Structure 1
């Protein structure tokens, strides 16, 4: 899993959150909406990225244990 940094990008008079791969500087994720200040945009990017990672891990766990008898 890559190291990810979180930034706020200025869009007009508001901000959008970004998750950026620290090694390649490629944008991994952008928040779909904009926020009034950079801290809110950065926090939204962190939470949305974490939710995506958690959902992917839950799917992997479910796939690995599908059909297992408890």
Structure 2
């Protein structure tokens, strides 16, 4: 698990998740902001952890900016 601060000063926890079809995702969680997700290139949990470990804080902020609400993914 990682933590980052966005441009507005909000702290986000970043962890790994998995879609029902097996894709690995980053899950971004902040109090009052819900949960957001961004797909990873990795196919396995081990590779996803390595991908997360290699991302800089700036890289995580870029992924956060490109992320979508997790709840939206449940609807479609």
Greater fraction strand = 2
Class of the TM-score when normalised by the shorter of the 2 chains: 0.3 to 0.5
What is the TM-score when the length of structure 1 is the normalising length? 0.44
What is the TM-score when the length of structure 2 is the normalising length? 0.41
Query: Which protein is bigger by CA-based radius of gyration?
Result: 1
